[in-house]
Amino acid sequence: MVDEMDPKATVETELGGDASNPYGHIADNYGPRRACFVTGHGATLLDDRGRSYIDFLGGIAVVSLGHSNPVINAALKKQSESLWHVSNYFHNQHAARLADLIDSKIASAVPGKVFFCNSGAEANEAAIKLARRFGGEKRYRIIAAEGGFHGRTMGALAATGQPSKQIPFAPMLDGFDHVRFGDSKAIRAAVTDQTVAVLLEPIQGEAGVIDPPEGYLEEVRAICDEYGLLMILDEVQSGLCRTGEWFAFQHTKAEPDVVLLAKALGNGIPIGAMWAKEQVMASFIPGDHGTTFGGGALATAVGVAVIEEMDRLELNDVVRLTSKRLRSALMEMPLVKELSGKGLLVGVELERPVADEFVGLAMQRGLVVSKTSTTRLRLAPPLVITDSELQEGLGVFEEVASEFTDVNS
């Protein structure tokens, strides 16, 4: 853990300027950064001042196998010494293997195919184009959820159900109808003869780790079947063992037509993917969509190593056990009102609107967490977090929560 420090203090680094301008020529898109991390192992980070932190955020559900995972490092090193990039005009054995692995983990009754890209936003953009191709000239509208988040590129942003993120960049791309998350009746009411798909997160991540009601996805599946719509699930944040199943939809009986992946698929190496049932993916013909870097040998070799290592570790079982320990401890703490999410994707509702202050104080004490609103925290630690790391992080969490309780008691 770290010593207390001024949360507004800037950090001078090799990459930028003086104390008043620590980021140099980096665009200031993210506001003040609270630390400059230089190394990491497992769920522990070290900053440029030699201070250690327990990571309860995991790069926002990215480093599921932990920082500097030796298996992933070895796969990256091995591939970097043989071949990095040749373009998608040529075959790539790692991409083929990774596509097979993804298809096997989705375990659909209908075989699927995979389009590789570089991020979750790109995966969503690919799905939007695929849906429009599938719908032909007359069907192009997509029903999405209020509060949903699908990325910041223009198509993905139009699908995102958060006006605060859209208004500065209006007008939005037409073709999206937003309804209340968790309300299947609202989806049914929004269907027209121009509707081609429903795009949802199984658990809304950026909105605060919001769970839908029981049976919601099954009801959406039934509506899609009734009207011939594609069911597209954005598993960018919830996929790949994060919830204790390979995919969050597997906690239900609903089977999607399209699944979107990124984040944990590369454990920090940029990669995204769109899986779709074969007959749906057949809507794309050569030239309809493409990417320079998507599916390259380096990223897909890492992706193969990620899924194979998750398999070897039987990570879903690990996540279920760790989740029970984490959630049980959190519910005993002051300031915590309720929890949401599944597995190690955890929303923490606070008794008071002090989330921003909580994040800052936690950083001072050596714990990395994030907020999604004034009353809500999001936790998404590496899935391989050790018991000692978990207990240390929980200790800091309780210290911080107690301080707010003491102040307001």
- Residues annotated catalytic, as ranges: 149, 234, 263
Which amino acid, one-letter code, is at 9? A
- CA dist 206 → 41, 124, 257, 408 (Å): 26, 15, 23, 28
The set of long-range contacts for 368-372, using a CB threshold of 8 Å and a minimum separation of 24, is: 368/45, 368/53, 368/54, 368/55, 368/56, 368/57, 369/56, 369/57, 369/397, 370/57, 370/60, 372/206, 372/207, 372/208, 372/209, 372/347
Which candidate, 289, 278, 294, 307, places its Cα nearest to that of 383? 307
Q: Which residues contact 26 (CB under 8 A, 6 or more apart)?
A: 15, 16
The Cα 355–Cα 397 span in angstroms is 12
Other Cβ atoms within 10 Å of 28 Cβ, number: 9
* Cβ-contact 44, 389 below 8 angstroms: yes
The Cα 328–Cα 189 span in angstroms is 40
The Cα 57–Cα 399 span in angstroms is 18
The Cα 271–Cα 102 span in angstroms is 13
Q: Which residues contact 384 (CB under 8 A, 6 or more apart)?
A: 42, 43, 64, 65, 66, 69, 313, 315, 318
